[in-house]
Amino acid sequence: MATQHSRSAARIMMAPAVFLLLVWMLVPLCMTLWFSVRDFRPLRGGDLGFVGLENFGRFVSSSAFWPAVATTLVIVGGVLLISIVLGVMLAILLDQPMWGQGVVRILVIAPFFVMPTVSALVWKNMFMDPVNGVFSYIWQFFGADPVVWLSEMPVFSIIMIVSWQWLPFATLILLTAIQSLDSEQLEAAEMDGAGPLSRFGFITLPHLSRAITIVILIQTIFLLAVFAEIFVTTGGAFGTRTLTYLIYQRVLESQNVGLGSAGGVYAIILANIVAIFLMRIVGKNLDK
């Protein structure tokens, strides 16, 4: 169908995008790989030569590594759990007939559009501040001692802030998926005497499984890279240093580029493991 002429035209039209992305991906990637095998400290002597895989070993054996891995897993896992469980419940609720559905949808989706630095600062100061924050008023109202959120339960606080930003995303996607569910199937099940719980467990949830998988994969990739929320609230203190933040500190704060780059290679491998699963789903969808 396509002529030779349009084929070569197509190739030319694709070229700029492909070329730019190729350069954008390969050049920094090669540089990171190069730095990761060198002892490179810009502020202390510069490039001190080839050190083999030493940086990779040192990055993993440093005392900060395993806590950072644990923090990363807790934050990613916590946000996923909250946003999926509440997201499914919210999506089902928003799918019911009601008055003012459009407005409620807008209210629910709004946090996703808030700049990460703004949401982190607003939560940190206006809600979690132990003296003047909204939470401290609520605690005082019930006669409890206000919690110093960001130093007493720092990881939980960050999970809360990040969940607030990502719950709307999960809800919106799950709601879109729920709306494609055939309501006749649910009605038939109801007539056959299936209660609300079994209708949810045997019809709604299986129908949502694909959307849930996609939400998990996409969010995982973004959550592994959470940065601004930590940068603005705790600056990595109180055990809130994630893998991403640890690498950032190695590279830009202590300017140990070799070590940080080795960490970067680990982060790339980790993200790729998640990405492979996501790509498989997306790829299957392309064939349809």
Partner 1 sequence: MARAVTNQRKALNTALAWIVGLAIFFPILWTILTSFKTEADAIANPPILFAFDWTLENYSEVMERSNYGRFLSNSILIAGGSTILGIIIAVPAAWSMAFVPSRRTKDILLWMLSTKMLPAVGVLYPIYLLCIRLGVLDNRLAMVVILMLINLPIIVWMLYTYFKEIPGEILEAARMDGASLKEEILYVLTPMAIPGIASTLLLNFILAWNEAFWTLNLTSVDAAPLTQFIASYSSPEGLFFAKLSAASTMAIAPILILGWFSQKQLVRGLTFGAVK
Q: Enumerate residues 53-92 that contact partner 1 by CB under 8 A.
A: 90
CB of 129 to partner 1, least distance (A): 8
β-bridge partners, 46: 41
237 is a contact residue toward partner 1 (CB under 8 A)? no
Q: Rounded to the nearest whole angstrom, what is the least distance from the CB of residue 128 to partner 1 in the complex?
A: 11
Please say which residue, 70 or 255, places its beta carbon nearer to partner 1.
255
Tokens of 248: 């950032």
Among 73, 132, 182, 254, binds partner 1 (CB under 8 A): 132
Nearest to 64 by CA among 273, 262, 258, 236: 236
**Residues sharing a CB contact under 8 Å with residue 257, sequence separation 6 or more, in sequence order:** 35, 40, 41, 42, 251
Tell me which stretch binds partner 1 (CB under 8 A): 66-74, 144-152, 198-206, 268-276: 268-276
Structure tokens at 229: 């929320």
151 near partner 1, rule: CB under 8 A: no
Among 88, 223, 224, 230, which residue interacts with partner 1 (rule: CB under 8 A)? 224
48 binds partner 1 (CB under 8 A): no
Query: Does the footprint of partner 1 cover residue 18 (CB under 8 A)?
Result: yes
- In sign, the C-alpha dihedral spanning 207, 209, 213, 219 is positive
Residue with tokens 């895989």: 53
Rg of the chain taking only CA atoms, in angstroms: 24
Tell me whether residue 98 or residue 197 sits nearer to partner 1 (CB atom): 98
Residue 155 C-beta: closest distance to partner 1, Å? 19
Instruction: Find the angle CA(228)-CA(231)-CA(232) to the nearest 5 degrees.
Output: 85
* Smallest distance, partner 1 to C-beta of residue 86, A: 9
Q: Are 86 and 167 in contact (CB under 8 A)?
A: yes
Q: Does 241 bind partner 1 (CB under 8 A)?
A: no
Tokens of 224: 């592994």
- Does position 230 bind partner 1 by CB under 8 A? no
Per CB under 8 A, contacts with partner 1 among 160-179 are: 164, 167-169, 172-173, 176-177
Q: Which is nearer to partner 1, 51 or 275 (CB)?
A: 275
125 touching partner 1, by CB under 8 A: yes
- Provide the CB-side half-sphere exposure for 208 (13 A, CA): 26
Q: Which is nearer to partner 1, 53 or 118 (CB)?
A: 118
Q: Which of 73, 85, 134, 237 binds partner 1 (CB under 8 A)?
A: 134
Q: Report in angstroms how near the CB of residue 139 gets to partner 1 at its nearest.
A: 12
- C-beta separation of 72 from 155 below 8 A: no
Q: Which residues partner with 38 through β-bridges? A: 50
Element (H, E) at 57: helix 54-61
Among 53, 182, 252, 254, binds partner 1 (CB under 8 A): 252
